[in-house]
Amino acid sequence: MTRLLVYSKTAGYRHDSIPVGVTAVAGLGYDIEHTEGALSGLGRYAAVVFLSTSGNVLDAADKDELTGYLAAGGGWLGIHAASTTEYDWPWFGGLAGARFDQHPRIQTATMTVERRDHPATEHLGATWTWRDEWYAFRSNPRPGVEVLLSVDESSYEGGTMGADHPIAWCHEYAGGRAFYTALGHPDEAFAEPVFLRHLRGALHWLIKG
């Protein structure tokens, strides 16, 4: 069975949804290993999932391992707080595509599905209404990434990015592939089939193209 590494180390805010997130990823049809220790032997994994990591969690050896893994064609999936990780490392900022800035209260909003021919979004209609913690970013990742979902700031309170607010995207990066979704704050997200299919599609794209 295809093997994934789920990494959830935190040095900043720790999301309560991490345990249920690990369980959910384990149910997507892959053999997973979960760690909050050193990154090592990443070449054994078809993809590496950063599940709501936060703060400066990687030492020099971890960074070398991750950059080498991507250079060899590896795949990286960042979920929710992964964009709050390693603010002082420019390479990681490029991997994630954008860095977290702030968020308003958890609430329901409507997303526009910008690509319906991608495995992570092909199950959706033209829009997707969802309840989550709506991250805003320090910069807009477009056009450096392929935006799959953007959130309509008129559909919720507290948005700060304006008319163009990407919320999930993918791109080729440093020899490998990267996918980031800002969704996944509440525990209940990881029990919702529509969100799990979003993650499954992201992994399919990372691993199989």
Instruction: Report angle CA 96, 183, 36 to the nearest 5 degrees.
Output: 60
- The C-alpha atoms of residue 125 and residue 35 are separated, in whole angstroms, by 35
pTM of the full structure: 0.98
Evaluate whether 50 touches 11 at the Cβ level (below 8 Å).
no
Partnered with residue 137 across adjacent β-strands are 100
Reading the block at residue 182, the tokens are 């800002």
For the chain, what are the domain ranges? Answer: 3-208
pLDDT tens digits, one per residue of 46-83: 999 999 999 999 999 999 999 999 999 999 999 999 99
Tens digits of per-residue pLDDT, 122-179? Answer: 999 999 999 999 999 999 999 999 999 999 999 999 999 999 999 999 999 999 999 9
53/79 Cα distance (integer angstroms): 8
**Under 8 Å CB-to-CB from 110, ≥6 apart: which residues?**
127, 128, 129, 130, 151, 152, 155
d(CA 119, CA 182): 17
CATH for 3-208 (3.40.50.880, 3.30.70.1520, 3.90.1170.40, 3.40.50.2020): 3.40.50.880
Task: Answer for the pair 111, 130: CB distance below 8 angstroms, yes or no.
Answer: yes
* Kind plus residue range of the DSSP H or E element containing 201: helix 193-208
